[in-house]
Amino acid sequence: MGATNNAGNNIKAATATYEGFVGMIKIATPVIALIVLFVMYLIA
């Protein structure tokens, strides 16, 4: 009985964590790409 409620809460928490992770990846990927390009420019 309590496990069902906790499972529902865990799904909500997992979904929030996943959405936060995906949002962070969307921001971090272009930033990392710019850093890589800048370092390549410095090396060349």
For 2, which DSSP code? Answer: H
CA dist list (Å): 3 to 8, 18, 30, 36: 9, 22, 41, 47
Quote the pLDDT of residue 8: 74
Q: What is the pTM for the complete model shown?
A: 0.63
| Cβ-proximal residues to 42 (8 Å cutoff; 6+ apart), any chain | none
Domain limits at 30? 1-44
Q: What is the pLDDT of residue 23?
A: 96
The reported pLDDT for the residue numbered 9 is: 79
Structurally, the chain folds into a number of domains equal to: 1
Query: What pLDDT, on the 0 to 100 scale, is given for residue 24?
Result: 97
User: Looking at residue 5, what is its pLDDT?
Assistant: 66
**pLDDT tens across 1-44, in order?**
555 567 777 899 899 999 999 999 999 999 999 999 999 999 98
Amino acid at 34: L
